[in-house]
């Protein structure tokens, strides 16, 4: 089996898929997005020296770039881990064929490398090289630098493969690594870290024509390549075991039972948490929103506290950033695939509503806790806005989202990717979310920031105070809608 | 639980299920057989209040299932792999089901002990595969155990013997025999032998109507076999076109 065969199979698989129409649309979207981002990245790279000259004229663009290239690699690896298709995810049919494991592993690595996660950084780095490195470095320095960033890109690809295999074996290893890197980046931001120094040593050295960083990077890439190859070879066995009686064991998630919470509501909350963590689409949506939220606060924090409009808008988004991806579909649609299980069991509709509210509240609190340290540090003036909008989201947005849940008739395919995926989206959901954002903004324009915050907090408290009433009402509504809801979920083509 | 239907009707495009006055006494094991499309699963879904009847009601102990909830705490059911939550491990699923019936963790663990001989291919415990990664037979076993776990007064099964290996089929029959008399059982199956073994009474559903409903006796299996053979015999004995 050659690389051409592997590529041909990928193409045929797409073309003959029962979802080929959707795949085609997705591919077109992806191509348009790739062109858009490609042009954007070329522009970004090309005008980068001008931007630096405009914003921080005292700094040398090349030195600034070199000091942060390793940060870029870390971020790229994180992005790959969350978004890029895993090497080996469709290898099962080939395992029984007489293809040497080494060749199969190499094919997997090459096919998984044909990704926008390699193409777009290459475009950006090419533009940066031409605009920033080329004019300042010698021909040798430029060649070394270009080779160096290429090696970093390759390292990132291999690191992702290793992380994926580690995640399959023991997710805590990956989480531990992520915590270490996060701590490293945090220290770096405080000027105490060594990543920036390492990056500067490496790429400043390369651009001045020193070969030692190149040797270090090349050694690292070869070692990571070898390790990734071995890890993927091992993964081939794991893929085979999934089909046999030899169990692929899965770690037990510490449940709410272990936390001492009991009862049907806690049990249903636990079920939803497991649904989020163990299924691709809700997990991707949640995991993506964590760095996005943190990034938003880090980069926008100082501006947010100075602009009342942005303060109001982002206050709304930040206090529900982890809840909104899940609840934009109303919540129950995620359970569409097994809604009959819930219907046939004792939990009454009101218990389902209570569990969904508890999950919404928990995710909102997690959203706030995620950004609270950064906000307290960078924009303490935003804290009262966050408090008011948290109350608003708990008391007003929550019942609105739960109401939406009783009207959604399309089950969500939980194991599809979250990207370029509009399955289950409804115009009603978009209108509802728009209405929920519009109310705070209207109040802001009508009465100003501070009175608007008091009104929103009051509305939120009113909603929370009357929760038993509206939960009972929503429970009754869900009870009335249960047949049409279940029929819609059953009829959804998953 | 005493199960009755009162002018129960469910219509689809070219099909109508009509059970005007079915009555199943508490503790009776009621077998339901019939060809594909006869309406067996539709009836079971109506009993579990998963679909709305176009007319009439299903009643448990005199209360319409569509209007009350209490019967659910006394009912266990398994209608196939779509009735599983596939991102849980079997162990987690059983505990989840147990919690919905207000069973304590200790009670669930205690009751699971009686299924250790039945669920032997996969480990019951802290680490195991997700349900979606199980074989169809083991998925079905996980669902059957979940239905039996609450020791309910009403058991509803759709094709419980499907995809089970011979050993597990025999074990399942033993498990159902243990509950016989204590629980009302509603068992739909294409396996005439097994359903005869576990039922006190067997009804044949044909195009949405019960065409035969009799207590089981030593001749039931042969009678059922004869009935279904007769439905195909006319086609088999038609003379070939010259």
Report for A256-265, B21-30, B124-133: range of highest mean pLDDT: B21-30
Q: How many residues does chain B have?
A: 242
> Mind listing the pLDDT tens digit for each residue in A4-16?
777 777 776 666 6
Which among A338, A346, A486 has the least Cβ separation from residue B50? A486
Of A83, A88, A270, A297, the C-alpha closest to A189 is: A297
**Sign of the dihedral through C-alpha A96, A247, B81, B216:** positive
What pLDDT score does B124 carry? 67
Chain B residues close to A267, C-beta within 8 Å: 96, 99-100
A375 and A303 in contact (C-beta within 8 Å)? no
DSSP 8-state code for residue A85: P
Q: Is A250 helix (H, G, I), strand (E, B) or coil?
A: strand
Chain B residues close to A248, C-beta within 8 Å: 129, 133
Give the integer Cα–Cα distance in Å for A95 and A236. Answer: 7
Inform me whether the C-beta atom of residue B82 falls under 8 Å from chain A C-beta atoms.
yes
What pLDDT score does A77 carry? 87
Inform me whether the C-beta atom of residue B127 falls under 8 Å from chain A C-beta atoms.
yes
Give me the torsion for CA of A416, A419, A422, A423, rounded to 10°: 0
DSSP 8-state code for residue A98: S
Give the integer Cα–Cα distance in Å for B24 and B204. Answer: 14
Share of chain B above pLDDT 90, in %: 61
Kindly tell me if the per-residue pLDDT of B183 is higher than 90.
Answer: yes
What pLDDT score does A459 carry? 96
Residue A187: count of CB within 10 angstroms of its CB: 14
A/B interface, count of CB pairs below 8 Å: 94
What pLDDT score does A364 carry? 95
Inform me whether the C-beta atom of residue B15 falls under 8 Å from chain A C-beta atoms.
no
DSSP A116-150: HHHHHHHHHHHHHIIIIIHHHS-HHHHHHHHHHHH
Residue A56: count of CB within 10 angstroms of its CB: 11
Inform me whether the C-beta atom of residue B113 falls under 8 Å from chain A C-beta atoms.
no
> Mind listing the pLDDT tens digit for each residue in B73-104?
899 999 988 888 888 888 888 988 888 888 98
Going along chain B from its start, the domains and CATH numbers come out as 3-231 (3.40.50.300)
Share of chain A above pLDDT 70, in %: 85
Of A364, A377, A365, A366, the C-alpha closest to A301 is: A377
CA distance A161 to chain B (A): 23
Task: Please give the average pLDDT of every successive group of 10 residues along chain A, which has 494 residues.
Answer: 74 62 68 84 89 85 88 85 65 63 81 83 90 87 92 90 80 79 73 79 90 92 90 68 41 52 84 90 86 79 76 89 88 90 86 94 94 84 91 95 88 78 74 87 90 95 95 94 89 73
Which neighbouring-strand residues pair with B209?
A: B206
Instruction: Give which of B46, B81, B96 to mutate to test A binding, by max A Cβ within 10 Å.
Output: B96
Give the integer Cα–Cα distance in Å for A37 and A30. Answer: 10
**Sign of the dihedral through C-alpha B171, B175, B178, B184:** negative
Which among B75, B88, B102 has the least Cβ separation from residue A274? B88
Chain A residues close to B102, C-beta within 8 Å: 263-264, 346
Inform me whether the C-beta atom of residue A8 falls under 8 Å from chain B C-beta atoms.
no
What pLDDT score does B239 carry? 53
On average, the pLDDT of chain B sits at 89
Angle (deg, nearest 10), helices A308-319 and A383-392: 50
What pLDDT score does A464 carry? 95
Radius of gyration of chain A (CA): 25
The three-state DSSP-derived secondary structure of chain B is: CCEEEEEEEEEECCEEEEECCCEECCCCEEEEECCCCCCHHHHHHHHCCCCCCCEEEEEECCEECCCCCHHHHHEEEECCHHHCCCCCCHHHHHHHHHHHCCCCHHHHHHHHHHHCCCCCCCCCCCCECCHHHCCHHHHHHHHHHHHHCCCCCEEEEECCCCCCCHHHHHHHHHHHHHHECCEEEEEECCCHHHHHHHCCEEEEEECCEEEEEEECCCCHHHHHHHHHHHHHHHHHHCCCCC
Inform me whether the C-beta atom of residue A2 falls under 8 Å from chain B C-beta atoms.
no
What pLDDT score does A246 carry? 37
Q: How many residues does chain A have?
A: 494
Angle (deg, nearest 10), helices A212-241 and A101-113: 110
Flag whether the pTM goes above 0.80.
no
> Mind listing the pLDDT tens digit for each residue in B37-61?
899 999 999 999 888 899 999 999 9
Which ipTM was obtained for this model? 0.77
A165 and A232 in contact (C-beta within 8 Å)? yes
Average pLDDT over residues B157-169: 92
């Amino acid at each position: 089996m050659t690389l051409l065969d592997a590529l041909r199979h990928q193409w045929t698989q797409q073309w003959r898929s029962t979802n080929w129409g959707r795949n085609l649309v997705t591919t077109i979207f992806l191509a348009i997005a790739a062109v858009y981002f490609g042009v954007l990245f070329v522009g970004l790279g090309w005008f980068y020296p001008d931007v630096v000259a405009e914003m921080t004229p005292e700094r040398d663009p090349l030195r600034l770039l070199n000091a942060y290239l390793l940060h870029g690699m870390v971020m790229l690896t994180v992005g790959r881990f969350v978004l890029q298709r895993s090497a080996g995810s469709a290898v099962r049919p080939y395992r029984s064929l007489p293809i040497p494991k080494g060749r199969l592993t190499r094919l997997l690595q090459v096919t998984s490398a044909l990704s926008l996660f390699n193409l777009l950084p290459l475009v950006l780095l090419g533009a940066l090289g031409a605009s920033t490195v080329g004019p300042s470095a010698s021909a040798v320095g430029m060649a070394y630098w270009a080779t160096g960033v290429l090696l970093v890109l390759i390292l990132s690809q291999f690191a992702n493969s290793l992380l994926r295999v580690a995640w399959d074996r023991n997710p805590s290893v990956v989480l531990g690594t992520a915590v270490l890197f996060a701590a490293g980046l945090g220290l770096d931001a405080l000027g105490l870290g060594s990543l920036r120094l390492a990056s500067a040593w490496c790429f400043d050295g390369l651009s001045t024509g020193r070969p030692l960083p190149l040797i270090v990077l090349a050694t690292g890439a070869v070692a990571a390549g070898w390790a990734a190859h071995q890890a993927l070879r091992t993964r081939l066995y794991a893929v085979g075991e999934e089909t046999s009686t030899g169990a692929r064991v899965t770690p037990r998630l510490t449940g709410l039972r272990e936390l001492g919470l009991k009862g049907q509501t806690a049990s249903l909350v636990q079920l939803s948490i497991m649904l989020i963590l163990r299924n691709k689409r809700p997990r991707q949506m949640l995991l993506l929103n964590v760095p996005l939220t943190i990034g938003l606060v880090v980069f926008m924090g100082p501006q947010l506290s100075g602009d009342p409009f942005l303060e109001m808008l982002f206050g709304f988004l930040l206090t529900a950033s982890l809840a909104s991806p899940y609840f934009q579909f109303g919540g129950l649609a995620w359970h569409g695939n097994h809604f009959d299980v819930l219907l046939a069991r004792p939990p009454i509709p009101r218990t389902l509503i209570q569990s969904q509210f508890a999950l919404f509240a928990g995710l909102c609190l997690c959203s706030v806790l995620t950004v609270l340290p950064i906000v307290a540090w960078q924009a303490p003036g935003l804290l009262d806005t966050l408090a008011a909008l948290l109350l608003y989201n708990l008391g007003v947005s929550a019942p609105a989202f739960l109401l939406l849940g009783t009207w959604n008739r399309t089950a969500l395919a939980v194991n599809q990717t979250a990207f370029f995926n509009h399955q289950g989206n409804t115009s009603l959901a978009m209108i509802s979310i728009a209405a929920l954002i519009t109310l705070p903004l209207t109040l802001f324009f009508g009465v100003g920031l501070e009175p608007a915050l008091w009104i929103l907090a009051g509305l939120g408290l009113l909603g929370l105070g009357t929760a038993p009433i509206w939960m009972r009402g929503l429970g009754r509504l869900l009870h009335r809608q249960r047949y049409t809801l279940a029929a819609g979920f059953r009829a959804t083509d998953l | 639980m005493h199960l009755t239907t009162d002018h129960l009707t469910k219509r689809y495009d070219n099909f109508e299920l009509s059970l005007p006055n079915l009555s199943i006494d508490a503790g009776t094991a009621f077998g339901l057989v019939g060809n594909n499309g006869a309406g067996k699963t539709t009836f079971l879904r109506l009993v579990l209040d998963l679909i709305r009847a176009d007319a009439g009601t299903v009643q448990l102990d005199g209360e319409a299932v569509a209007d009350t909830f209490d019967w659910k705490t006394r009912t266990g059911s398994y209608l196939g792999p779509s009735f599983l939550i596939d991102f849980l491990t079997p162990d987690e699923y059983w505990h989840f089901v147990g919690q919905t019936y207000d069973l304590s963790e200790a009670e669930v663990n205690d009751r699971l002990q009686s299924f250790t001989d039945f669920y032997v291919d996969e480990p019951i415990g802290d680490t195991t595969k997700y349900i979606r990664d199980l074989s169809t037979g083991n998925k079905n076993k996980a669902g059957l155990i979940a239905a039996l776990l609450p020791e309910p007064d009403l058991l509803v099964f759709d094709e419980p013997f499907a995809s089970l290996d011979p050993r597990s089929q025999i074990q399942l029959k033993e498990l159902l025999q243990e509950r016989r008399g204590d629980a009302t059982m509603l068992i739909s199956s294409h396996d005439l032998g097994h359903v005869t073994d576990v039922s006190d009474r067997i009804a044949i559903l044909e195009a949405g109507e019960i065409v035969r409903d009799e207590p089981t006796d030593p001749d039931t299996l042969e009678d059922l076999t004869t009935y279904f053979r007769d439905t195909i015999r006319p086609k088999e004995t038609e003379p070939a076109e010259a």
